[in-house]
Amino acid sequence: MPTIHFVDGEKGGVGKSLFTRTMIQYCLDKKIPFVPVETDRSNPDVAGVYKDICKYAVFSENERQANKADRIFEWAIEKPVIVNLAAQSHRAVQGWIDSNQLIELGNSQGVMFCKWFVSTGGYDSINLFTQSVNTYGERIRHILVRNLGLCDDWEHIESDSNFQIMVNKNQIKVIDFPKLTYRERNIIDQHRLTFAEAREYKEFGIIGRQRVINFLKLAYGALEKVGIWYEKVE
């Protein structure tokens, strides 16, 4: 089913861009038709890497610019859309969805909404995720993406009974986004490499390239466990 995949985190520096680029490469590797969309005007690093295929859209609370995100829905009628959301865009996105009654329109046009929320596990990050879930409830499917590159201990979340009740009530999937080693990640960002290029980048050496391949293998497995791109992998 055509789906608008919002990659969110609300805050900057949570690993949202890296996750978006990984999802884009996943679709390319699996030959899944899709449209990647950059909405971060201040730091368009996803479009800077996948510049040959990325399209642009704008979410704005300014009524005069409210229609600049409409093309996202139009694209989604034909194929899945991956949207890299800018930090602090929750209100603008909510305004776009609510004012245009896009949940209802999506039901009639066969378009689903899905939010992949990249989190560091910190208080602010989890609080923003909770706000997003409370805003949309069951109308938009939420996936909590635990960024292991920024936090490798999630016991405080797993032991939070109120949070777990919310997760179970809303049938929220939780996946682990693996850590990409600092050296490889830094070079990928510095040279704006796609992951396809990174897998072949000679400067990494054989072992460095294998680390990139292993990272993608783990990340792809996490994506598939959700059962949206492909059936759930046990």
**pTM of the full predicted structure?**
0.93
Kindly report, residue by residue over 106-116, the tens digit of the pLDDT: 999 999 999 99
* Residue 35 counted as domain residue: yes
pLDDT at 110: 93
CA 175/CA 232 separation, integer angstroms: 12
pLDDT at 233: 39
* Residue 230 counted as domain residue: no
56-63 long-range contacts (CB < 8 A, ≥24 apart) are 57/83, 59/85, 59/86, 59/89, 59/92, 59/93, 59/96, 60/92, 61/91, 61/92, 61/95
Kindly report, residue by residue over 185-217, the tens digit of the pLDDT: 999 999 999 999 999 999 999 999 999 999 999
Q: Which domain holds residue 180?
A: 3-225
pLDDT at 197: 97
pLDDT at 31: 95
* Residue 234 counted as domain residue: no
CB 31 within 8 A of CB 224: no
**Number of domains present in the structure of the chain:** 1
CA 68/CA 81 separation, integer angstroms: 15
* Residue 78 counted as domain residue: yes
Q: In CATH, what number is assigned to the domain containing residue 94?
A: 3.40.50.300
Structure tokens at 3: 């789906």
Per-residue pLDDT of the chain (234 residues; tens, 9 = 90+): 789 999 998 777 889 999 999 999 999 999 999 999 999 888 899 999 999 999 999 997 766 666 789 999 999 999 999 999 998 889 999 999 999 999 999 999 999 999 999 999 988 889 999 999 999 988 999 999 999 999 888 999 999 999 999 999 999 999 999 999 999 999 999 999 999 999 999 999 999 999 999 999 999 999 999 988 764 433
* Residue 43 counted as domain residue: yes
